[in-house]
Amino acid sequence: MSTAGPPQGAQHRSPQGEGTPVSTPRPPQDTPAGEVLLSARNLSMRFGGVLAVNSVSFDVRKGEVFTLIGPNGAGKTTVFNLISRLYTPTTGEIFFEGQNLTHTPAHEIARLGIARTFQNIELFEHASVLQNLLIGRHTHRSTGLWSEMFFTRKTREAEVAARQHVEQVIDLLDLQHYRDSLVAGLPYGVRKVVELARALSTGPKLLLLDEPSSGLNVEETGDMAFWIKDIQHELGITVLMVEHDMSLVSKVSDRVLAMNQGATLAQGTPSEVQNDAGVIEAYLGSIDDVSSLRRPVAAVAGQGARS
């Protein structure tokens, strides 16, 4: 697949045109620039003696792509785990659409409209791709235990409706070929896409992507970039992501937050952050450290070389 244009499925709608789309499409210029969707205030997380997150604050505005960058161990995934409530912050608070999330149980988060992917893929290995995505529709279920045991008409209709939603996600991400395959046998790149698809199936307002391009080759990363842009512009979903690949970050992000050793280093547009002295030092060390390593011809490996 060339990197010149969007992948085949991106503009495709479901053939019958029926069923509500995954999320109301909204062109970017209509999004009010200042409306804050997610707000983290002075988040700190301590694991025993280790301070993994140190008083981190940031706002994610509706409709933007906000990226967390930083060296390994900077605490980025811990911030994600705090937002999806797998951990409870030692201090600090999280607000989503004005509501305080800090003590909400983890299973309520999806219902509120936050979905996430995991750094080390956490798919349901012994189920098919379709079943994984259908599990993503769990928060939209309308049937109870008894109507399901008797498989009433209501259950049947709910199943068909869930299936219609899920097929739209499959269309968007080109997973038709893998629909009935068991996840356990799929190649890594496909599993990353299934992880994304499952998060999209929940019909979220905010999507947390943890290193979406890790382990992907250049083509697959290109596809991922297009999908993230589609998610932002076509589906109107706000994206908060953790990423290491600087070219992807520059391509899709509206704003970037750089972290190091649990604390904030710099915040701003991608180019602002990538040129910030503190950020450069965190990634590469100070000028003095590397000058002796500088090769005569080629530039030092880093942000300049890729984009």
Partner 1 sequence: MRFIFKTDYTQDIRLAKHKGQVFWYVLLLAVLAVAPLIAPEYWLAQLTFVLIYAVAGLGLMLVAGFTGQFSIGHAAFLGMGAYTHAILNNLGVPFPIALLGAAALSAFTGVVIGVPALRVKGIYLGMATLSFGFIVQEIFTRWNSVTGGNRGLHVMPPQLFGWELESGEEMYYLCLAVTVLCTLAILNLLRSSTGRAFVAIRDSEVSAQSMGIHLARYKTISFALSAAITGIAGALYAHKLQFISPDQFGLLQSIELLLLIVVGGLGSVHGAFLGAIFVISMPQLIALGKDYLPAAIGMAPGLQGVVFGVVLIAFVLFEPMGIYGRWLKVRTYLQIFPFYRKGMFKRQKSFQKSDRLS
Partner 2 sequence: MQFLQLVISGVAQGCIYGLIALGFVLIYKATETVSFVQGDLMMLGAFVGLVMMTVLDFPFWIAVISAILGMGLAGIALERVVIRPILGQPAFSIVMLTIGIGYVLRGLVTMVPVIGSETHVLPVPYKDQIWTLGTLVVNVEQIVVITFTALLCGVLYAVFKYSKVGIAMQATSQNQLAAYYMGIPVKTLNGLVWGLAAAVAAIAGLLLAPITFVHANMGFVGLKAFPAAVVGGFGSLPGAIVGGLVIGLVESFAGFYAPEGWKDIAPYIVVLIMLWVKPNGLFSSSMRKKV
Which positions lie near partner 1, rule CB under 8 A? Answer: 84, 86, 105-111, 115-116, 118, 122-127, 130-131, 134-139, 141, 143, 145, 148-151, 155-156, 158-160, 162-164, 184-185, 198, 202
Q: Which of 102, 119, 143, 181 binds partner 2 (CB under 8 A)?
A: 119
Per partner kind, with CB cut-offs from 5 to 8 A, the member of partner 2, partner 1, none near residue 138 is: partner 1
CB of 124 to partner 2, least distance (A): 14
Per partner kind, with CB cut-offs from 5 to 8 A, the member of partner 1, partner 2, none near residue 69 is: none
Residue number, 191 or 255, with CB nearest to partner 1: 191
**What's the Cα-to-Cα distance from 236 to each of 22, 222, 260, rounded to whole Å?**
10, 20, 30
Long-range contacts of 189-192 (CB under 8 A, 24+ apart): 189/215, 189/216, 189/217, 189/220, 191/121, 191/123, 192/117, 192/121, 192/216, 192/220, 192/224
CB of 116 to partner 2, least distance (A): 10
Contact 243, 54 (CB under 8 A): no
Phi, psi of 24 (to 5 degrees): -65, 120
What is the CB neighbour count within 10 angstroms for residue 284?
Answer: 16
Q: Which amino acid is at 298?
A: A
Residue number, 52 or 256, with CB nearest to partner 2: 52
**What's the Cα-to-Cα distance from 278 to each of 90, 118, 264, rounded to whole Å?**
27, 28, 10
CB of 158 to partner 1, least distance (A): 8
Q: Which of 35, 122, 219, 289 binds partner 2 (CB under 8 A)?
A: 122
How far is the C-alpha of 249 from the C-alpha of 255, rounded, in Å?
Answer: 9
What is the footprint of partner 2 within residues 205-224 (CB under 8 A)?
none
Write the binding mask 159 to 198 for partner 2: x where contact by CB under 8 A, - elsewhere: ----------------------------------------
Phi, psi of 71 (to 5 degrees): -65, 170
The footprint of partner 2 (CB under 8 A) covers: 77, 81, 86, 118-120, 122
